[in-house]
A and B are shown apart, each in its own frame.
Chain A
Amino acid sequence: MKRILLTFALTATLVANFACVRKDGGPTVASDTGAIKVGVYGDLSGQTSSFGQSTKNGVQMAADEINKAGGINGRQIQLLIEDDQGQPAQAATVATKLVNQDKVVALLGEVASTNSLAAAPKAQEGKVPMITPSSTNPKVTQVGDYIFRVCFIDSFQGAVMAKFAANTLKAKTAALLGDVNSDYSKGMSQYFEEQFNKLGGKIIMRQSYTQTDPDFKGQLTSIRAANPDVIFVPGYYGQVGVIAKQAKELGINAPLLGGDGWDAPQLWELGGEALRGAYMANHYSIDDPSPAIQKFVADYKARYNNTAPDAIAALAYDAMKILADALKRAGTTDGPKLRDAIAQTADFPGVTGRITINADRDAVKPAVVLKLEPTGRKFIYTETIQPEGAAATTTTSGAPAGSASPPTVASPAAGASGTTASPAAGNANANTNTNTNANAAGARATP
């Protein structure tokens, strides 16, 4: 491990130095003709490579559609795609390269919050707007006013699963099993616990793991001894699949709950039958009958060899479309102006719902809870949980989700956003209402 870290550190230093040299010597004026360069970085070869692959597919599909329709104000989009191997140090390195050396006008990436957090400062320093399609940890957009996201945040997602556990599953006790090296996992655990306690539940066991752990039976045996009603596992699919398998081997029948980090085909290969009865929060349901979603699903399947688009791909597609929309409105690729245009995004009709960027540069959107069905490897739509202020709409149990107690969407970044006032900032509070009817929750009937 040390050797790898050392290698990365050395590479990072070399590339950083190289990039600096280029920056000083290279041309500083961005040309306003020719292709618009957009940097995309993600994990294409590491532990979470399904995420990077889906991001790449989603972005490429969106960019091709835009280019086919004539591009942006007559200019084509050129994607520069970099692999960060799922390593935070490497994410920072490739972000530096894209910003300083390739002079991209905007960055799209990552999925894992830890990697986005490593790369975001590079975008902020270079005054290049970065949109993360699917990093849900609140800290990501707090890095600076050039960092945006088009997905909901963990304070909401964690609360959604806590509400689902307490209201729908009637759970009184829960165990936490999180990835200690992941900001995503730590954030989710924290918000789940806060909301679960508020609803009268109790966390009776806390366990953690790392991605290189050879097995999880030690943690699971302790959890079994505590006998919780549900087990919250806010990790990534690679470990979650194995955890599900080993939990069943130990005879644990409490349902596993998780979030969007589970969403990958590999989850089924690793977990298989053991995933029966598990629930996850996600950004959208592929079975949603709305025409926009069904068209996206059909186009994606036609393009990518019949692979169904996961939420990561859908969010990447939306991120590219929002960037294109902002580029069009800005009429320039100039960093600060493009930043303002992205910040003004309001009520954009994305695949994953209507997207409005709020004052914290986050998107406020509803979440869906999906039930895992190993036969046919399906995610079955269970219910939609709206963000704060929105009316509760559930299709199964009629649990008072949403309205009962609004999730605590903390906004410690309020100070940062004050530095560059944008018209969208004023609308911050209105956003949640815009989203109420956004995804037509009523139409999201179980297929």
Chain B
Amino acid sequence: MDTFVQQLINGLTIGSIYALIALGYTMVYGILRLINFAHGDIYMVGAFAGFFIAHGLGFAAEPSLVGFAITLLGSMLVAALIGMAIERFAYRPVRKYARMTTLITAIGVSLLLENLGVVIFGGAPRSFPQLLQNQNYTLFGNAAISKSQILIFSVSIALMLLLQWIIYRTKVGTAMRAVSFNLNSAKLMGINTNLIIAFTFALGSALAAAGGVLTAQYNPQIYPLMGIITGLKAFVAAVLGGIGNIPGAVLGGLLIGAAETFVVGYGQSVGIPSTYRDAVAFSILILVLLFRPAGLLGSTVQEKV
């Protein structure tokens, strides 16, 4: 029983990270119908931004809650700016062309960020500093939760609630929903759509950066290609929940995280080696696309021609 609970905690921890990144995929898709393949790399950029902030301001040497908060917010800000810059200089100029053009641009931006990362940071993995004194809490029996896990849960829940509030309770959120509903009508209603799109990119990128810093507290190894697999899994999570659907992204993230951890934990007893965790995530994607293309929470919308 405690092993099961432990695996569930492990799965939900990694799932929360996927959920944070999946939100960015889903928001951008909701507004632009664009799959932003560079999003996984923003997660990497966020982790590196956190690394340099923590070292630059000396938080690496003495762990404290303030240091962690500043590092987290700082890296979110850096990622938001980079996300906006990518939208402004890479996606906006090609937005008027076919959707495929933007998609391919996104793949190009993704490769650019990865290789720029290798050039600037070097390909060697770096060790992210521990920003909070780690500690373990025993729940019952052997089941334990570490401070870094509690941190991941609480920060992701807080950020998701904040996002929900922004989208449903603020003016800019209303505008985002309007743009997502119909970009041209929103423009006619006097909404500055370029600004709203830039804001969406900033929001999504900040969440991915938060995911990067949180993961680094849990698994301190960061390297320029770390966003590829994690980004792909978050994308699967967004599709699983129903791309464009915000609660769906969270649900999808948690499901993928739990599914792959259970494959690691229990797969062997049914003959699936623990390294099939990635295969399982992508099998889920195929099954969803086959049987429920709109995702778990998505509704099928008639394609407007």
Contacts and interface: CB of A to CB of B under 8 A. Distances in A.
Interface of A: 1, 3-4, 45-47, 49-50, 85-86, 180, 206-210, 212-219, 221-222, 224-225, 238-239, 241-242, 245-246, 249-251, 266, 269-270, 272
Interface in B245-271: 260-266, 268
Q: How large is the interface on B (under 10, 10 to 19, 20 to 34, 35 or more residues)?
A: 35 or more
Residue of B138, B146, B232 most packed against chain A (CB within 10 A): B146
Q: Main secondary structure on chain B at its contact with chain A?
A: helix
Contact of A221 (B3, B111, B123): B3
A50 B268 CA distance: 33
A209 B276 CA distance: 9
A85 B219 contact: no
Contact of A47 (B125, B134, B268, B277): B125
Given A47-B124, A212-B226, A251-B142, 8 more contacts: A47-B223, A215-B14, A218-B264, A221-B7, A222-B7, A241-B221, A250-B136, A270-B127
Residue of B6, B11, B130 most packed against chain A (CB within 10 A): B6
8 contacts: A4-B225, A210-B278, A212-B226, A214-B229, A218-B265, A222-B266, A238-B125, A266-B124
B14 to A, nearest CB: 6
A218 B259 CA distance: 11
Given A214-B17, A241-B127, A251-B136, A221 B221 contact: no
Residue of B11, B138, B218, B278 most packed against chain A (CB within 10 A): B218
Contact of A208 (B6, B138, B219, B273): B273
Contacts of B230: 214
A106 B274 CA distance: 40
Residue of B130, B148, B225, B232 most packed against chain A (CB within 10 A): B225
Nearest to B263: A218
B220 A219 contact: no
B215 interface: yes
A269 B229 contact: no
Contacts of A249: 134, 136, 144, 146, 148
Nearest to A210: B275
B247 to A, nearest CB: 23
B275 A270 contact: no
B58 interface: no
B148 to A, nearest CB: 8
A116 to B, nearest CB: 19
B125 A266 contact: yes
Interface string B23-56: 0000000000000000000000000000000000
A270 B127 CA distance: 6
Residue of B107, B123, B134 most packed against chain A (CB within 10 A): B123
A215 B10 contact: yes
A364 B180 CA distance: 68
Contacts of A210: 275, 278
B127 A269 contact: yes
Nearest to B130: A272
Contact of B221 (A4, A224, A242): A242
B46 to A, nearest CB: 15
Contacts of A49: 122-124
A53 to B, nearest CB: 8
Contacts of B223: 47
A215 B13 contact: yes
A218 B144 contact: no
B191 to A, nearest CB: 36
A209 B125 contact: no
Contacts of A50: 124
Nearest to A212: B229
A242 B225 contact: no
B123 A207 contact: no
Nearest to A47: B125
Nearest to B142: A224
B228 interface: yes
B22 to A, nearest CB: 14
B116 interface: no
Contacts of A47: 123-125, 223
5 nearest CB pairs, A to B: A218-B264, A45-B123, A269-B127, A49-B124, A217-B10
Nearest to A270: B127
B3 A225 contact: yes
A181 B240 CA distance: 28
Nearest to A218: B264
Contacts of A241: 127, 220-221
Contacts of A245: 220
B118 interface: yes
Nearest to B119: A45
Given A214-B17, A266-B127, A219 B274 contact: yes
Contacts of A45: 118, 122-124
B25 to A, nearest CB: 17
Contacts of A251: 136, 138, 142, 144
A238 B125 CA distance: 7
Given A217-B10, A221-B3, A270-B221, A85 B264 contact: no
B265 A221 contact: yes
A89 to B, nearest CB: 15
B228 A1 contact: yes
Residue of A46, A50, A215, A245 most packed against chain B (CB within 10 A): A215
B228 A4 contact: yes
A272 B130 CA distance: 10
Contacts of A222: 3, 7, 264-266, 268, 274
B144 A208 contact: no
A209 B124 contact: no
Contacts of B6: 217, 221, 224, 250
Contacts of A219: 264-265, 274
A209 B220 CA distance: 17
B56 to A, nearest CB: 17
B219 A221 contact: no
Interface string B259-302: 01111111010000111011000000000000000000000000
A208 B274 CA distance: 6
Contacts of B13: 215, 217
Contacts of B10: 215, 217-218, 221
Contacts of B17: 214
Interface in B128-148: 130, 134, 136, 138, 142, 144, 146, 148
B136 A207 contact: no
Nearest to A224: B142
A215 B218 contact: yes
Nearest to B232: A1
A46 B123 contact: yes
A241 to B, nearest CB: 7
A245 B129 CA distance: 13
B264 A242 contact: no
Nearest to A217: B10
